[in-house]
Chain A
Amino acid sequence: MSTAFTFQGVQRVFGSKQVLRGINLEVPEGQFVAIIGKSGCGKSTLLRLLAGLDQPDGGRITRGEAARGAAGTRIMFQEPRLLPWARVTENVAVGLTGIAQGAAANARAADYLAEVGLADRGSEWPSVLSGGQRQRVALARALVGQPAILALDEPLGALDALTRIEMQQLLERIWREKGFTAVLVTHDVAEAVILADRVILLEEGHVALDLTIDLPRPRRHGSPEVAAYEQEILDRLLGRNAA
């Protein structure tokens, strides 16, 4: 299987604070990777580097053939960042800037809206949608350009518990359908175990744990196997503090 992207000794420094201290990471195409860690461990910085929003101070980031170019990697944020003055379909079509326009763009946008279960909301303003629906529009916008890599910066963090589980199922279904590489930054260990093939634990700018989650999908919240993985990661996350 070919590689989606590789981090080789990647470093990032803000002022006197070294946020990333030599990250090495190789992710094959189509893998779902979750990155977890405490606040300030550098996980969002890593994601911004991956999305090309920031440049490393040392080391190299290489992307596979498919993920090169502007539309090869998309990022989705904790806030939906929709344009309040554009209808829902137009907001999704923003994801096709420089790829398609006019009727063709609207048709593709409508397809992806249907994909996220909002087929009949295309002509609404974002302000009338709920938080979960807005985030689904943002997901459609991120995917409509068919990126090879989707970077997700805690996109479900602001949602209530039930909407969150629905969104996790939606995300998993679309990921399996489209086959893109997903990199999810989250502080929710359960979410990481439910969704990811592989969980990376960042600690003080290092990869502290690289764990493959070998469980059949779809996984259920609260099943014993999921709980066991959760426990293992939590022990590792909190263990050092307890000692």
Chain B
Amino acid sequence: MTAVTTETDTKTKGRGAPFRFLAPRGLIGWVLPLIIVLLWEALSRTGVITENVLPAPSEVLAAGWQLLLSGELVHNIAISTQRALIGFVIGGGFGFAFGLANGLWSRSRDVTDTTLQMIRNVPHLALIPLVILWFGIGEEAKIFLVALGVFFPIYVNTLLGIQGIDPQLTEMGRIYGMSPSRLFWRVILPGALPAIFTGLRYALGIMWLTLIVAETIAANSGLGYMAMQAREFMQIDVVVLSILIYALLGKLADSLARLAESLSLQWHPAFQRKDA
């Protein structure tokens, strides 16, 4: 799936030659957000968008500056990021481990896959009431939900990646006398990696989504909490600021994942620069 997207990117780039003078390829994606923000500012200043519906970007920026000076913004971002990462490491780690185990050993798959598929079909956010009863609004509640949300995309894609490996390649490895561990490191893991990265990027999206919802409902710190507090005091500029920060953090996480992906999948035709 990822490969296809990237291939299309390369093609679009070839066809989009007239736009190349605007910016190098990496920056061109930021032109549209910039236009939207400028348009929004203009509409706010002319009074088309009233202040109690959507404050102007400059006001949101000013609110952000205030929060930055007070240290509140940095504190909340740090605490949300910490929760996100802890949950991601726990959920992703278990997902990867189960994905490997079930991909490599059919016995393990027979025992656990049915259970995991049933749990997967429960929307994990529906567990919020139960999780609050269990953990209150402490850190465990958020981390648990993030871990649960992240588990499945990583699990499913790791499993798919391993099952999708060309059996001709594993046969080749055995013919040339590779030991099981060598076969895993040289053939199975690299072969599953593209699918694992697809799962990783999907998991990062779910990670933010889960965390924000959980923080909005049950927390006393973090970005979601900041937004909910602002709503109570009718600080619409802070609410909008929080939403924009989600967008930026989500984009940042995805960009990092893509970077890691293109570094480790250099062999993949979709990641080779044809103009190089």
Contacts of A97 in B (CB 8 A): 176-178, 182
Most buried by B among A77, A84, A85, A127: A85
Quick check: A81 and B168 within 8 Å, CB to CB? yes
Which residues of chain B are within 8 angstroms of A127 by Cβ–Cβ distance? Answer: 267-269, 272
Task: Decide: B272 and A125 in contact? CB cutoff 8 A.
Answer: yes
Residues of B within 8 A of A (CB): 168-169, 171-173, 175-178, 182, 186-187, 190-191, 193, 265-269, 272
B177 near A70 with CB under 8 A, answer yes
A74 and B177 CA atoms in complex are apart in Å by: 11
B191 and A51 within 8 A (CB): no
Question: Which applies to chain B's interface (DSSP): helix, strand, loop or mixed?
Answer: helix
Q: Judging by beta carbons under 8 Å apart, are B186 and A83 in contact?
A: yes
| With A97-B178, A127-B267, A128-B272 already in contact, 15 other A-B pairs whose C-beta atoms are closer than 8 Å | A51-B175, A77-B168, A77-B172, A81-B168, A83-B169, A85-B265, A85-B268, A86-B190, A86-B267, A97-B176, A97-B177, A97-B182, A98-B177, A125-B267, A127-B272
A94 touches B (CB below 8 Å): yes
Which among B168, B171, B175, B191 has the highest number of chain A CB atoms within 10 Å?
Answer: B175
Tell me, rounded to whole Å, the shortest Cβ–Cβ distance linking A56 to chain B: 18
A98, B174: Cα distance in complex, Å: 12
Could you tell me the dominant secondary structure of chain A's interface residues? loop
User: A174 → chain B, closest Cβ, in Å?
Assistant: 19
Interface of A with B (CB < 8 Å)?
A: 51, 53, 70-71, 74-75, 77, 79, 81, 83-86, 94-95, 97-98, 125-128, 141
Whether B272 contacts A81 by the Cβ 8 Å rule is no
A-B contact pairs, 20 of them (CB 8 A): A51-B175, A53-B175, A71-B177, A75-B175, A81-B168, A81-B171, A83-B187, A86-B186, A86-B190, A86-B267, A94-B172, A94-B178, A95-B176, A97-B176, A97-B177, A97-B178, A98-B177, A127-B269, A127-B272, A141-B176
